[in-house]
Amino acid sequence: MRNVLIITGDRNQKKRDYTNAFLPESKRFAQVIPGDHCKIKIDISKDMSGRRKHLFEKLEALQNEGVNFDDVAFFMHGWAEGIQCGVQLSDVSKLVEKLIPMISTGTAPEATLHVLLYCCKTGDVPGSPDEDEKKLGPGGDGGFADRVRDEFCKAARPWIRVYAHTTSGHTTRNPFVRTFEGQGSLVGAVDGNWMVRPPKKGRKSPLWKPWRDAQWSKGKFATGTMNGPVLIGNGKVQRKDFRFFAPYMSIEELHGILAL
């Protein structure tokens, strides 16, 4: 069971980005991840500062209501320096300050806090084109996901995993994913690591195709069931919903499913 704070915008900004992606994907996440979830919508008709003010007001209201949660999931546009709800690199420490009183996880390895950034390019390096972020090794230092990890570590929530896309793509199905782990550090860390290493000439990961298929619910991931993450503990789950369970999988669980 994971109680998740789900944060989205409230309307379309580009074509049908909200009604065709952010809204239905956030709803499906809430359906398949067991727990008591709380969802807030941010008025994106405002400018960035107005959105940020709206977000912080909603978080303060939740705290006053005594709401608690284990994880946070954002479904919205993003880039290396910020996300659509008005939070930019310089605002991350304030965001963490608002969230900390309501978070029940992050203080021990068996109770890891998960921050799920279903947002484009948040695992990227500021000023770096997509192609640079498809390199084989670790990366993303100085970007939005990296800053989120570091600020939670400094706020005494050092057991954290931030799940973030490194390129532009679909809000939940983009296979270019890095995780930024706190691993108990109270000062943060450097870079994030690929969940599955992207292909590159001469160094193609054998897991890349099944990983990509799993994100897009294709091939063997179009139907049937699989073992859900032990962390969630709900036994068999639909393989088509892999994209929502992946952030909660250990590397052993992930590789075990993809290699079948």
Residue spans per domain, the chain? 4-194, 202-260
28 pLDDT above the threshold of 90: yes
206 pLDDT above the threshold of 60: yes
Nearest to 179 by CA among 254, 98, 234: 254
Q: What angle do CA 77, 174, 157 make, to 5 degrees?
A: 70
Instruction: For 19-48, give one letter per residue: b (16+ CB within 10 A) or e.
Output: eebbbebbeebbebbeeebbebbbbbeeee
128 pLDDT above the threshold of 80: no
Please, which residues bridge with residue 226 across strands?
237
Q: How far apart are CA 103 and CA 72, in angstroms?
A: 9
Write the DSSP assignment of 3-15 as a string of letters. -EEEEE-SS-SST
Please, which residues bridge with residue 62 across strands?
none
193 pLDDT above the threshold of 70: yes
157 pLDDT above the threshold of 80: yes
Q: For residue 224, name the pLDDT band (cuts at 50, 70, 90).
A: very high
Can you give the pLDDT at residue 130? Answer: 60
Q: How far apart are CA 108 and CA 192, in angstroms?
A: 20
pLDDT tens digits, one per residue of 103-115: 999 999 999 999 9
Say if CB 107 and CB 153 are below 8 A apart. Answer: no
Q: How far apart are CA 152 and CA 31, in angstroms?
A: 27
Strands 113-118, 160-165: parallel, antiparallel or unpaired by DSSP?
parallel
Mean pLDDT of 164-192: 96
192 pLDDT above the threshold of 60: yes
pLDDT tens digits, one per residue of 8-23: 999 999 889 999 999 9
Tell me the average pLDDT of the chain.
Answer: 94
